[in-house]
Every structure is written in C-alpha cells, then in structure tokens.
A and B are shown apart, each in its own frame.
Chain A
Amino acid sequence: NAGVTQTPKFRVLKTGQSMTLLCAQDMNHEYMYWYRQDPGMGLRLIHYSVGEGTTAKGEVPDGYNVSRLKKQNFLLGLESAAPSQTSVYFCASRPGQGFNEQYFGPGTRLTVT
C-alpha cells in the first residue's frame, strides 16, 4: 500500500514549456486535491476532484488544468509554464464525504526559469 505518490519529485522547466504532474493513490479514495506551497503562504488549493470524471477550481486555478479520468489518478497540467509557478506541489486524497483528514503525497518541487 503506497498511499499517495507523485511523479516526478523534481523538475526544472523553461518559461513556456508544458508538463504534467501525476498523482496516484491506491486507497480507493473518492476525493483528490492539488495544492501549491510557497514560502510564507502555507498551502493553497489549486483544483480538486470529488470523483472520477469530475474536477473543480480551488483558490488559485489560473494557469493550471486537471483531469481525473481514472479514480486513482489526478493529473495537474501546466500548458505554458511561468516563473510564478515555481513552487512545491502537493497532491492529497481522502476517502469521501465526512470530515476525514487528507492524506498527502511527498510533493513535487518545480522550478520554472
């Protein structure tokens, strides 16, 4: 049982390049989330999904797209990376309705030059 995994762990992009971050969970959780963590700002919600085939915007969605084609996977895409997207990205999941804690992945450190 790996929990929540994220691929890749590190990445450096040039401005304008695109990439996709993969989040996978093997706990059969319904809800999945993408956050970004910036110094002095805590974690901010980018997008989330309440089930396979659904996505919704969070607090800071601009410049990102997501997809949840399979229940276990939640993809975060950057179509045209900008230096402002340099951050650490965390994926999280939780079982379903009810106030359960979220389980976090190890994070992806992304640098956009």
Chain B
Amino acid sequence: AQKVTQAQTEISVVEKEDVTLDCVYETRDTTYYLFWYKQPPSGELVFLIRRNSFDEQNEISGRYSWNFQKSTSSFNFTITASQVVDSAVYFCALSEAIIETDKLIFGTGTRLQVFP
C-alpha cells in the first residue's frame, strides 16, 4: 500500500532561519512520482515540484531545495532563509504508477509559521 508520512505537524521559525520539512513515503512500485504542494492561508494549492523515482538528484530553486533519497524513502524540502511569505501548509504527495489514473496520495501536511 502507498502511504506518505509527514511527521511534523507544525513548525515555527523566525525569519531568515533555515527549515526542513520531512516527508517519508511507502510504495511497492518501482516507478513513482513525488510532489510538494504549498497551501498558503488563502487556501489554494500551489504546485512546487515533481520528482520521479529514477532521478535522485537534488534540486534547488531559489531558496527552495529538495533532497530525494530512495535508500531512506524520503523526499525532504528545505527552505533557506525563510520569509514570512513562506508561512503555509506544505503537503508531500506520492503518485502511484498506475498510468490511467496517477492518483495522488497526500501526507497530512506540515504547517510552517515564519515569524518576523
């Protein structure tokens, strides 16, 4: 069975601190995709990144970086020099390797609060 675990329910940091959001997944598929979505206080879900199971290279996009490690089934997300605008709920998600549906399985989310 597929499962995504975000053990950190809520994290609070002060602006300019670095913060890492953890994501651990379970799947029997050899081909799968992992995602991160951001849900700001306004409520919409914003796509951040997609990573496939064959690509373990870390990715950096501005202040955001992602560390994918198949050996530990983790796909962690780091925000460097956090800002108040980063305050949001962040969801990690897993896509099953069922071509027809590609259903997303979401973790329970981590609420990040960045204080000025």
Residues of A within 8 A of B (CB): 31, 33, 40-45, 48, 50, 56, 58, 88, 90, 92, 94, 97-107
Whole-angstrom distance between the Cβ of B114 and the nearest chain A Cβ: 21
Minimum Cβ distance to chain A for residue B92 (Å)? 9
| Contact (Cβ within 8 A) A99 B50 | yes
- Decide if A101 touches B43 in the complex (CB within 8 Å): no
Contact B101–A42 (Cβ < 8 Å): no
What are the interface flags for B28-62 relative to A under an 8 Å C-beta threshold, 1 for contact and 0 otherwise? Answer: 00000101010000011101001010000000000
Interface assignment of B25: CB less than 8 Å from any CB of chain A: no
Which of A41, A43, A44, A94 is most buried by chain B, counting CB atoms within 10 A of its CB?
A: A43
B43 touches A107 (CB 8 A): yes
Taking beta carbons and an 8 Å cutoff, which residues of B are in contact with A? 4, 9, 33, 35, 37, 43-45, 47, 50, 52, 91, 95, 99-104, 106-109
Q: A31-B101, A44-B106, A106-B44 known; 16 other A-B pairs, CB under 8 Å?
A: A40-B9, A41-B108, A42-B4, A43-B45, A43-B91, A50-B101, A58-B103, A92-B104, A98-B102, A99-B33, A99-B102, A100-B102, A101-B35, A101-B47, A101-B50, A107-B43
